[in-house]
Amino acid sequence: MMDAAANRTLTQVGAGTPMGELLRRYWHPVAALAELGDHATRPVRLLGEDLVLYKDLGGNYGLLDRHCAHRRADLAYGVVEECGLRCHYHGWRYDHTGRCIEQPYEDTVAPGSRQKERIRIKAYRVEALAGLLWAYLGPEPAPLVPNWEPFTWANGFVQIVFSEVPCNWFQCQENSVDPVHFEWMHDNWGARLRQDKGPYAPRHLKIDFEEFEYGITYKRIREGTDESHPLWTVGRVGLWPNALFTGNHCEWRVPVDDSATLSVGWFFSRVPKDREPYVQKRIPYWTSPVKDPQTGRWITSHVMNQDFVAWAGQGVVADRTQEHLGRSDRGVIMMRRRFLADLELIAKGGDPKAVIRDPKVNECVALPIAWRETFTQGLTREQWEDLRRGGALGGAARRDFAWLVGQPEEVSRAYNEAMGWA
């Protein structure tokens, strides 16, 4: 059982809190690259800070304080220019370092005034990778945006899906090292939700967890599989500090503040060999709702939506003083211990787990990936069809999108076209 102080330590993300400072040592995905092509500005709330992300006409990204230094207007309604973002209220303009570079009225009536030079708003680093825009709110020197292995793969259709989950990020991330929930939540509950009264799914017989440089792998043996199965020999990954990585997709649980999380899903589908070479022109993005607007109830039809119900159901911040952990929770315990140990490490000036600074390493950061060849080498159309029939790759081999509800028609169309299933 955990005491209330440790529960607070693990869950508070504001500036100056231990975990808030730890999480500021990492890059966080906050938007899709294509989004800033559609709208030049986008409000972002990250780690309890209200910010605005923009792309100016010169193609530079910036992440600034949400409020103008003049009289606090909302810079999410600002106008981008060749360089920087102009406030819509009285026209003050800022560059990506947060410097005020123009005050139109002051500049007209008092051209020599040096007031501008003293005005600087909060500004953070932004980088683009894998169709996502990443933000870094921590101390300098900033580490590299991790170039995880799947980001380097070719011949794939990628899509990015956001969901706003109204609870603390840490209980979401605990789900990334929780193999047993898959049997109960997705298989058995999923079946009951579909009115399937059949027998329960194959049970988990054995699970194991292993910490490695970039996270914790979890491994499972279920009834009907043995120790030669890729989900035992390779397993799946709770990726540091806040993601689940399953091989063909990654789900970040981005801390918005203490009571909200932005789920960012990045999904890679390798096209059948006869569609190669395939180059995706634009990585689409969309937002999946978490509640049914008609009934107000949680949506339970898709895999990640089911996860959201569990996370939010634990309370806005799960009360870990009231839980009873079992043998299924060893990964959760390992994860908590590593974070608590890393808090001490950064207090002493060290780099926490999975911070990457070596450009050579970052050319491609290899991860444990079950069925890796299916993503790196590709499959023939016949192999895809076999998989769809046998279900060995689960949702990855389906034509519809199994993970989240609400995929827009145009994304579905683009996906099917890429796969040659149109």
**Where does this chain bind Fe ion (CB under 5 A)?**
307
**Residue 337 in the binding site for ligand FES (CB under 6 A):** no
Among 87, 216, 317, 370, binds ligand FES (CB under 6 A): 87
**Smallest distance from the beta carbon of 390 to ligand FES, in angstroms?**
60
In the set 26, 61, 92, 403, which binds ligand FES (CB under 6 A)? 92
> Which residue number, 3 or 117, has a Cβ lying nearer to ligand FES?
117
Q: Which is nearer to ligand FES, 104 or 315 (CB)?
A: 104
Chosen residue from 8, 90, 120, 275 binding ligand FES by CB under 6 A: 90
- Strand ranges inside 229-374, DSSP E: 236-239, 243-245, 249-257, 260-270, 285-287
Among 8, 34, 83, 89, binds ligand FES (CB under 6 A): 89
Task: Assess 204 for contact with ligand FES (CB under 6 A).
Answer: no
In the complex, minimum distance from the CB of residue 200 to Fe ion, in angstroms, rounded to a whole number: 17
Compare residues 307 and 342 and give the one whose CB is closer to Fe ion.
307
Interface with ligand FES (CB under 6 A), residue from 8, 45, 70, 273 = 70
The CB-of-133 to ligand FES minimum distance in angstroms stands at 24
In contact, 214 and 240? CB cutoff 8 Å: yes
- Element (DSSP H or E) covering residue 19: helix 18-23
Rounded alpha-carbon distances, angstroms, from residue 281 to 130, 284, 400: 12, 9, 21
Nearer to ligand FES, 11 or 41 (CB): 41
Candidate ranges 64-72, 161-169, 261-269, 302-310; the one touching ligand FES (CB under 6 A): 64-72
Dihedral of alpha carbons 147, 150, 151, 154, sign: positive
Q: CA 316: distance to chain centroid?
A: 19
Should residue 122 be labelled a site residue for ligand FES when binding is judged by CB under 6 A? no
Nearer to Fe ion, 35 or 307 (CB): 307
Query: Which residue is it, tokens 């192999």?
Result: 383
d(CA 301, CA 132): 26
How many residues bind ligand FES (CB under 6 A)? The answer is 9
Tell which one of 68, 121, 271, 405 touches ligand FES (CB under 6 A).
Answer: 68
Q: Is 241 in contact with 354 (CB distance < 8 Å)?
A: yes
Positive or negative CA dihedral for 332, 336, 339, 341?
negative
Among 2, 6, 40, 73, binds ligand FES (CB under 6 A): 73
- The terminus-to-terminus CA distance of the chain in angstroms comes to 53
Residue 307 interacts with which of ligand FES, Fe ion, none, CB < 5 to 8 Å by class: Fe ion
CA distance 116 to 93: 10
* Residues in contact with 279: Cβ distance below 8 Å, sequence separation at least 6, in sequence order: none
DSSP conformational letter for 209? E
* Interface residue list for ligand FES (CB under 6 A): 68, 70-71, 73, 87, 89-92
